[in-house]
């Protein structure tokens, strides 16, 4: 489903997750962002480089400690995220177009329970 999502929306689900998280905050360290979205650190770096190249995010070194990088959405990124959200809604509507409201509700409940069960697994 992910390749179809990307073709329909023009952005990967992982990059969209990063943008959504950045939309919620003014600025965040790259390490904290990686923890928040639970994506591999190297993948986050690749995604951010790509998004930075497209003018959607900016990164800067922490002046107090050059080992850390801060990330934020640019104005361009803030504008584009709205379009991506709309495309995502259209995609989701198409995915569930043959489901009744009750089926969607039951599925959502089951997926939420699965997610909670996975989070409760202790290692």
Domains along the sequence of the chain with CATH = 2-120 (1.10.10.10)
Mean pLDDT by 10 residues, the chain (123 residues): 73 88 94 92 94 95 91 93 85 92 95 91 84
Residue 68 near residue 29 (C-beta atoms within 8 A): yes
pLDDT score of 1: 54
Secondary structure (DSSP) of 27-91: -EEHHHHHHHHT--HHHHHHHHHHHHHTTSEEEEEETTEEEEEEEEE-HHHHHHHHHHHHHHHHH
pLDDT score of 2: 66
Which residues partner with 70 through β-bridges?
Answer: 29, 60
pTM across the whole model: 0.72
45 burial via Cβ count (<10 Å: 0-12, 13-18, 19+): middle
pLDDT score of 44: 94
Cβ contacts of residue 90 below 8 Å, gap of 6+? 8
């Amino acid at each position: 489903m992910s390749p179809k999502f990307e073709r329909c929306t023009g952005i990967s689900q992982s990059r969209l997750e990063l943008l959504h998280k950045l939309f919620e905050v003014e600025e965040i360290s790259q390490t904290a962002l990686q923890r928040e979205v639970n994506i591999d650190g190297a993948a986050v770096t690749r995604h951010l480089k790509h998004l930075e190249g497209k003018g959607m995010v900016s990164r800067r070194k922490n002046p107090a400690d050059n080992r850390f990088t801060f990330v934020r959405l640019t104005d361009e990124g803030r504008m584009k995220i709205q379009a991506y959200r709309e495309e995502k809604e259209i995609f989701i509507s198409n995915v569930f177009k043959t489901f009744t409201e009750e089926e969607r509700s039951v599925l959502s409940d089951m997926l939420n329970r699965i997610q909670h069960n996975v989070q409760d697994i202790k290692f």
